[in-house]
Structure 1
């Protein structure tokens, strides 16, 4: 029986995405972009980069505790090979992992933190669950909006532009803050703050509509 109570320390933050310049900035690479935001927010030299377990891994300390930031290089559908491989190497349990991914069911600019759950039809999460043999890792889902029926693959591999790009950029900043909040104060506090978060433009829209 698992002794998981939702309060385990997070040792590994994984951002899901596809490697290669052609995929940079695409909706499906939201997880990679959140890791990049996190790294940009830390002092230079705080995290040491290395290539291990088919991933780029940045190892460092956060508030005196070890922390790993991982970007699998296996392509999305095989993400679990990298995540499980690195977790086994470092002795990290599923409950000590936070996985960041894009989500079609959330509007652009919205976030959702959870302590577990299904793969929700996301192939990267499906691979992570299969390779870890557990769905008890934490998740941060970053909204990228839903396409018209039948256009999912092209949609998730497309880039943002205009107002949508601005809104998405704000959500990436908030997602990095949400990860830091989860690391510092636990998932419950982070969920209470960021699951209700919305970009300023969205708040202004609602205010204008109500006037």
Structure 2
């Protein structure tokens, strides 16, 4: 089984915000792959969509714990399904990447991302593949002009949506490549 986790904050007030780019990417993935609608699984503290893609069983999750406690949800799912770290794909926003770009990594530190910090703390290691979705938009609402928390909780502007769409589509494509066993190819294509 492959576990794909999109990070974000639950609630309508966070829909469309930069910090929810991970949710947006897995939403697009669920639709493209024709998986069932997301449903709340209280035991996992997450919205989940489960199905088969090709010959691979896949569970897509959107933790409902708020960003800073995402690790609790991810650990519950991984433990229940006995998912190995290399089969857990984390999709999250990255304030250091330009809007529309993505980066694919097979592992690495959490950096400044609190959702990733929570996951690393829950598992005690950093051995998770991840897809980072760029949310920085120079000249629109540059992070250096305001505090980072306010920036990531700010919705995308209408003029930014085409670049966001490009980044989300690339994120879905990278997940498809990874699911087919070509994480290295995804890294070479998008990094």
Moved more, 176-185 or 74-83: 176-185
Q: Distance in 2 between matches of 1:74 and 1:44?
A: 23
2:15 corresponds to 1:24: yes
Determine the structure 2 residue equivalent to 1:151: 147
Q: Which runs of 4+ in 1 moved over 6 A?
A: none
Larger Rg: 1
Query: Cα RMSD over matched residues?
Result: 1.6
Determine the structure 1 residue equivalent to 2:139: none
TM-score normalized with structure 1 length: 0.83
Q: Distance in 1 between matches of 2:60 and 2:158?
A: 30
Contact 2:35–2:49 (CA under 8 A) maintained in structure 1? no
Moved more, 86-95 or 158-167: 158-167
Specify which structure has the higher proportion of strand: 2
Shift of 1:96: 1.3
Q: Distance in 1 between matches of 2:35 and 2:107?
A: 33
Q: What aligned pairs does 1:90-105 form with structure 2 within 5 A after superposition?
A: 90-105=81-96
Structure 1: runs of 5+ lacking an equivalent: 1-9, 196-211
Contact 2:99–2:135 (CA under 8 A) maintained in structure 1? yes
Contact 2:87–2:128 (CA under 8 A) maintained in structure 1? yes
Shift of 1:97: 0.5
Tell me the matched-pair count. Answer: 185
CA deviations on 1:32-58 (whole Å, 9 max, x unpaired) are 00110001112364x774514100111
Contact 2:33–2:53 (CA under 8 A) maintained in structure 1? no
TM-score normalized with structure 2 length: 0.91
